[in-house]
Amino acid sequence: MPALTPAEISAIDAAHVWHPYSTIGAEAMAPVVAVGASGARLTVINEGRRVDVLDAMSSWWTAIHGHGHPSLDYAIASQLSRMNHVMFGGLTHEPAARLAQLLVEITPAGLDTVFFSDSGSVSVEVAVKMALQYWRSLGRPAKHRLMTWRGGYHGDTFTPMSVCDPEGGMHSLWTDVLAKQVFAPQVPAAYDGGYSAAFEKKLTEHADELAAVIVEPVVQGAGGMRFHDPRYLTDLRDICNRHGVLLIFDEIATGFGRTGELFAADHVGVSPDIMCVGKALTGGYITLAATLCSSEIAHTISTHDPGALMHGPTFMANALACSVAVASTELLLGQDWRARVRQIEAGLRAGLQPARDLAGVADVRVLGGIGVIEMARPVDVPVATRVALEQGIWLRPFRNLVYAMPPYICTPEEIDSITSAMVTVARALT
């Protein structure tokens, strides 16, 4: 079968493909055709020309080692030569066992049981199902609601949507049909003990019906790229302990070094009862996520009716995905990843500084491998995308944010190119 030309790809795409968060037939800018990826760069067709651009998004925060890394390519090819996939019901295999053991070793203490799934949203669904079934197993079915702070994002399936920000998030369309959860005000960036006290007061009012508190630790990702003091996590752990409520950390975006610690919970050494990981888990190769829980939760669910966690994705623990996840994690841990992230952080801080002086910029913030320019008004995404492409950078702004989460392999010069493009985009939007 002959390869499609870029024009043919675009034509078929326009006729039949629905992209994430997009409008069929009314997009202001057609999707850019990607034809290759290597290292920190994508090869795309821009205005009829084949050009290489820096992937400043790590392809939605996944490709921490860049694209086409030899170690990860080898892991996929080697596993493919042995076994591509088998059902996980009644069967197990080495890649899943090795990955489970590795995750238990590197995640916060006490998370001893791993449930694999195929996306971040599903890992959150599983986390919530674990929490609800835990309380049902203990004869307390009334504890079925969740509590979180505003500004969060946890995924696009219905249970995760119910704990996304109910007003400022992407899912307000569904407010009348989503489960009614308990929301505290937006967590402040700086530590304020008064906020934690108010959070506890609200939790106390609902403790008898709360199964769990769920938050994105330290960084609220797609809900607004906001950062908060890690000490709030310590407070949440203490509050949940005092009132008999489980604590869930959604580390799908923050895991594997993005905030400067391997997991955001590590900033203060807090262990949740349940934790979700995904995105960078496979280094951007194949979709895979996992939900980890304590032995107490796993044992309680397993020893009460119906005696099993009632969930089972078809492609659960796919052997190719587990193999590349092991390779990606070992590659990360086998290098001085902290130094790399610190270097990226320093480059982002220095390079984004000029944006602070622009009239249309509301805030500039950097943490670990995350750099954010918050605009005072919503971003014109087609304009921002075109300007960034002209600078040789792939960015994907959303709402009022121009941000980057670059691969850890980026050189200081490449980080300079990314920040320069971000400032140029911000200037073009003012």
pLDDT at 170 over 90: no
Give the per-residue pLDDT at 175: 87
The domains of the chain are located at 112-318
pLDDT at 38 over 80: yes
314 marked among binding-site residues: yes
Higher-pLDDT residue of 25 and 402 is: 402
pLDDT band at 1 (very low <50, low <70, confident <90, very high): confident
323 marked among binding-site residues: no
Known catalytic residues?
21, 153, 250, 279
- Evaluate the CA torsion angle 364, 365, 371, 374 in order and state its sign: negative
CA angle 318/325/34 to nearest 5° reads 90
Topology of domain 112-318, per CATH? Answer: Aspartate Aminotransferase; domain 2 (3.40.640)
pLDDT at 295 over 80: yes
Proportion of the chain above pLDDT 90, given as a percent: 94
Give the per-residue pLDDT at 24: 86
pLDDT band at 361 (very low <50, low <70, confident <90, very high): very high
From the DSSP assignment, how many helices (H) and strands (E) are in the chain?
A: 13, 16
Give the per-residue pLDDT at 259: 99
312 marked among binding-site residues: yes
60 marked among binding-site residues: yes
Q: pLDDT tens digits, residue range 220-261?
A: 999 999 999 999 999 999 999 999 999 999 999 999 999 999
Proportion of the chain above pLDDT 70, given as a percent: 100
Give the per-residue pLDDT at 305: 92
73 marked among binding-site residues: no
pLDDT at 379 over 90: yes
For residue 424, report the phi and psi dihedrals to the nearest 5 degrees: -60, -40
Alpha helices in 147-279 (DSSP H): 158-162, 193-206, 231-243
Tell which phi-psi region holds residue 58, choosing left (phi > 0), alpha (psi between -120 and 50) or beta. Answer: left
Q: pLDDT tens digits, residue range 102-161?
A: 999 999 999 999 999 999 999 999 999 999 999 999 999 999 999 999 999 999 999 999
pLDDT band at 171 (very low <50, low <70, confident <90, very high): confident
pLDDT at 29 over 80: yes
pLDDT band at 82 (very low <50, low <70, confident <90, very high): very high
Tell which phi-psi region holds residue 46, choosing left (phi > 0), alpha (psi between -120 and 50) or beta. Answer: beta
121 marked among binding-site residues: yes
Give the per-residue pLDDT at 294: 99
Tell which phi-psi region holds residue 63, choosing left (phi > 0), alpha (psi between -120 and 50) or beta. Answer: beta
180 marked among binding-site residues: no
pLDDT at 203 over 80: yes
- From CA 102, how far away is CA 99, in angstroms rounded? 5
Q: pLDDT tens digits, residue range 9-26?
A: 999 999 999 999 888 877
Give 233's Cβ-side CA count (13 Å radius). Answer: 25
Give the per-residue pLDDT at 168: 77
- From CA 150, how far away is CA 12, in angstroms rounded? 39
- pTM over 0.85? The answer is yes
Give the per-residue pLDDT at 28: 74
Q: What is the mean pLDDT of the chain?
A: 97
Q: What is the rounded average pLDDT of the residues 66-85?
A: 98
Residue entry with tokens 């001893």: 112
CA angle 98/99/101 to nearest 5° reads 65
